[in-house]
Amino acid sequence: VAQSYPSLSEPDYRVLAQIGISTGDVGAKWSEIKDGYLKVDESKLTKALSESPQSVKDLFASDLNEDAITDNGVAFKMNETLKPYVQFSGGLITARIDTIKSTIDQKQETIASKQRSLEQKEQQLREKFGRMESSIREARSRSEYLKSKLGTP
């Protein structure tokens, strides 16, 4: 925001603060500027726009080498800075989203695998419990049979 940009227009606006746009007052506390919002002095900006709209336009976007391609200014520099982050394909944010999606997919597969293991263990325990109950019933039945044969109550 405080970077200086070459200008071909008069008056020579080189920084946003000259037209009333800044990150805050000089000497401002961190708590006042940490959110990253720009402050606009409306009277200063209105004056700059009314007195020299071309100079304000050039501060944001201009063609220094006169090849009809914008190659200078706040908006140009902002676009160049943000482009790697916001590109649909191959951008940093897209890459980070893809990494997070991949991690989520891996975690979901791990959860599904653990769920299958738990279901198998549950089935094994149910079968084991069923055999144990069957053995207990058989032992009780034999005990009753033996009691009846021996005549004990």
Domain ranges of the chain: 16-86
Q: Counting Cβ atoms within 10 Å, is residue 41 exposed (0-12), middle (13-18) or buried (19+)?
A: middle
Predicted confidence band at 89 (pLDDT cuts at 50, 70, 90)? confident
> What's the pLDDT band for 107 if we cut at 50, 70, 90?
very high
pLDDT score at 126 = 97
Question: Tell me: the pLDDT tens digits for 38-81?
Answer: 889 999 999 999 999 999 998 998 888 888 888 888 898 988 88
pLDDT of residue 125: 98
Could you give the dihedral angle defined by the CA atoms of residues 32, 37, 42 and 48, in that order, rounded to the nearest 10 degrees?
A: 120
Share of the chain above pLDDT 90, in %: 43
**CB neighbour class for 16 (10 Å; exposed up to 12, middle 13-18, buried from 19):** buried
Residue 2 confidence (pLDDT): 66
In whole angstroms, give the CA distance from residue 81 to residue 94: 16
Nearest residue to 92 (alpha-carbon basis) of 83, 105, 104: 83
pLDDT mean across residues, the chain: 88
Contact partners, residue 65, CB within 8 Å, separation at least 6: 71
Percent of the chain with pLDDT over 70: 93
pTM for this predicted structure? 0.54
